[in-house]
């Protein structure tokens, strides 16, 4: 009996020690004193954000059983590096695209190929910035602010001027002949525009554009989603007064922006919250915000076609494991402080990204969905533009564009 009591006492002490050891290990992970985790160098404070339930979204989302996007053509492989946005000038020439090496290039035909049209930084140099395929990798990050990172592009059809949302240099403009782009606005109320992302131009000359975060820049954009922070803004620049105004704030990774055909409203994407939103800017509903659609993945740019319909680029798809982390910020705080590389942590959550593009009407009804589940043509998609009987598809992360005849 005495021996049994002694064994029970020792078992109890062992359990106490295990609990204490577990608490110490957990505390060590949370403190991350040696900055060994992916978030170790950041003030990482996860919060719960506003996202529709995974099962609800996936149950209602139409699927492309033929994976039609995978039937597209890879174009200009290793000739363009991270072509986020694709644009055509008022004469139909192009496409033009902003690259990860800081240049804006123009396709000038088979004989001349891709030519440099504009630069966004006075400090740009071939030696530092022109790193070819490496410009879409971590090797470019240390020089990205020096070289610039042009993202959203829009031509003013009346003047031929090209407007640019550069991730580091704010809202910019270059004339029809190209050259060095000039900054239009880099701050608001004395605070720097940290992450200009996409834009659209109103017929009255005002330019609506997104500032994705006031905390993280483009290199650290993944932390915006991991943390769930919502310091992003929709801004408006008015050329006559050269003034910049906050239209909306408190947004979770505002990304693409697109005015409607009659310009009574604009659509914008919130990447973190996986949704497409509408802001009325004219009429009786002026100032009202509406949910257009909850999406199966993480949306990027929006572009309108000639019929007034909207193409949305989506990096798909959310997973159930992500859902658990999304709804439990404390789990994210612990999980992403584990001393493993981000890609391994993401893979453990079942993340295997592929491209989805979806066409919406002006009321938010889904008209078409195309995907590429096997990543044959595009693993990550940033923009879809419908022009010249084709879909022109850009990617911020890879070194090519894709085209697909549409309607097929």
Q: How far apart are CA 296 and CA 154, in angstroms?
A: 27
Residue with tokens 């005495």: 2
Which pair of tokens denotes residue 182?
Answer: 């000039």
Q: How far apart are CA 266 and CA 285, in angstroms?
A: 12
Question: Are 37 and 336 contacting, i.e. CB atoms less than 8 angstroms apart?
Answer: yes
For residue 312, name the pLDDT band (cuts at 50, 70, 90): very high
* Predicted pLDDT at 34: 47
Rounded mean pLDDT, 283-294:
96
For residue 343, name the pLDDT band (cuts at 50, 70, 90): confident
For residue 13, name the pLDDT band (cuts at 50, 70, 90): low
Rounded mean pLDDT, 212-217:
96
* Predicted pLDDT at 168: 97
User: Looking at the DSSP assignment, which residues form a beta bridge with residue 116?
Assistant: 105
Which is nearest to 279 in space by CA: 266, 291, 270, 294?
266
Mean pLDDT of the chain: 89
Which pair of tokens denotes residue 403?
Answer: 């085209």
Give, rounded to a whole angstrom, the gap between the first and last alpha carbons of the chain.
83
The per-residue pLDDT for range 382-391, each reduced to its tens digit, is: 999 999 999 9
* Predicted pLDDT at 17: 42
Question: Are 385 and 303 contacting, i.e. CB atoms less than 8 angstroms apart?
Answer: yes
User: Looking at the DSSP assignment, which residues form a beta bridge with residue 358?
Assistant: 312, 369
* Predicted pLDDT at 31: 52
For residue 354, name the pLDDT band (cuts at 50, 70, 90): confident
* Predicted pLDDT at 335: 84
Q: Of 26-35, 121-130, 192-201, 357-366, where does mean pLDDT reach its minimum?
A: 26-35
Residue with tokens 């109103």: 202
What backbone phi and psi angles, to 5 degrees, belong to 134?
A: -70, -15
Q: How far apart are CA 281 and CA 28, in angstroms?
A: 50
Question: Are 257 and 234 contacting, i.e. CB atoms less than 8 angstroms apart?
Answer: yes
The per-residue pLDDT for range 159-213, each reduced to its tens digit, is: 999 999 999 999 999 999 999 999 999 999 888 999 999 999 999 999 999 999 9
Measured CA distances, 96 to 28, 205, 266 (Å): 50, 21, 23
Is 50 exceeded by the pLDDT of residue 39? yes
The per-residue pLDDT for range 88-139, each reduced to its tens digit, is: 999 999 999 999 999 999 999 999 999 999 999 999 999 999 999 999 999 9
Is 80 exceeded by the pLDDT of residue 278? yes
Q: Of 29-33, 67-71, 105-109, 402-406, where does mean pLDDT reach its minimum?
A: 29-33
HEC assignment per residue over the chain: CHHHHHHHHHHHHHHHHHHHHHHHHHHHHHHCCCCCCCCCCCCCCCCCCCCCCHHHHHHHCCCCCCCHHHHCEEECCCCCCCCCCEECCCCCCCCEEECCCCEEEEECCCCCCEEEEEECCCCCCHHHHCCHHHHHCHHHHHHHHHHCCEEEEEECCCCCCEEEEECCCEEEEECCCCEECEEEECEECCEECCCEEEEEECCCCCEEEEECCCCCCCCCHHHHHHHCCCCEEEEEEECCCCEEEEEEEEECCEEEEEECCCCCEEEEEECCCCEEEEEECCCCCCCCEEEEEECCCEEEEEEECCCCCEEEEEEECCCHHHHHHHHCHHHHHHHCCCCCCHHHHHHHCCCCCEEEEEEECCCCCEEEEEEECCCCCCCCCCEEEEECCEEEEECCCCCCEEEEECCC
Comparing 338 with 274, the larger pLDDT belongs to 274
Q: How far apart are CA 289 and CA 266, in angstroms?
A: 10
* Predicted pLDDT at 99: 98
* Predicted pLDDT at 37: 66
Is 90 exceeded by the pLDDT of residue 48? no
Is 50 exceeded by the pLDDT of residue 368? yes
State what percent of residues in the chain have pLDDT above 70: 89
Report for 194-198, 341-345, 370-374: range of highest mean pLDDT: 194-198
């Amino acid at each position: 009996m005495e021996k049994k009591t002694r064994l029970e006492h020792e078992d109890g002490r062992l359990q106490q020690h295990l609990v204490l050891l577990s608490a110490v290990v957990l505390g060590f992970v949370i403190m991350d004193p040696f900055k060994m985790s992916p978030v170790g160098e950041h003030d990482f404070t996860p919060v719960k954000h506003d996202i529709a339930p995974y099962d609800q979204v996936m149950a209602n989302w139409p699927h492309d059983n033929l994976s039609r996007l995978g039937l597209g053509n890879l174009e200009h492989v290793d000739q363009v590096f991270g072509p986020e946005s694709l644009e055509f000038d008022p004469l139909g020439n192009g496409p033009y695209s902003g690259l990860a090496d800081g240049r804006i290039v123009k396709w000038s035909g088979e004989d001349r190929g891709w030519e440099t049209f504009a630069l966004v930084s006075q400090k740009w140099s071939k030696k530092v910035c022109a790193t070819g395929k490496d410009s879409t990798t971590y090797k470019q990050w240390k020089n990205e602010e020096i070289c610039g990172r042009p993202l959203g592009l829009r031509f003013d059809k009346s003047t031929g001027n090209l407007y640019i949302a550069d991730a580091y240099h704010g809202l910019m403009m270059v004339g029809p002949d190209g050259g060095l782009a000039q900054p239009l606005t880099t701050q608001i109320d004395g605070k720097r525009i940290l992450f200009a992302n996409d834009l659209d131009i109103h017929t009255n000359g005002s330019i609506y554009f997104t500032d994705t975060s006031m905390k993280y820049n483009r290199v650290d954009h993944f932390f915006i989603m991991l943390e769930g922070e919502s310091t992003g803004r929709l801004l408006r620049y008015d050329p006559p007064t050269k003034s910049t105004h906050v239209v909306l704030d408190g947004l979770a990774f505002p990304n693409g922006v697109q005015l409607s055909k009659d310009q009574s409203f604009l659509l914008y994407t919130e990447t973190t919250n996986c949704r497409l939103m509408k802001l009325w800017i004219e009429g009786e509903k002026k100032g009202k915000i509406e949910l257009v659609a909850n999406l199966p993945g993480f949306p990027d740019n929006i572009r309108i076609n000639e019929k007034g319909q909207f193409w949305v680029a989506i990096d798909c798809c959310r997973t159930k494991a992500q859902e658990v982390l999304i709804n439990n910020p404390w789990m994210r705080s612990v999980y992403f402080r584990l001393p493993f590389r981000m890609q391994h942590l993401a893979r453990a959550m079942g993340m295997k990204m592929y491209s989805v593009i979806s066409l919406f009407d002006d009321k938010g009804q889904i008209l078409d969905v195309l995907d590429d589940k096997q990543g044959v043509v595009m693993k990550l998609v940033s923009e879809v533009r419908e022009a010249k009987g084709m879909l022109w598809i850009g990617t911020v992360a890879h070194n090519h564009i894709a085209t697909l005849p549409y309607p097929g």
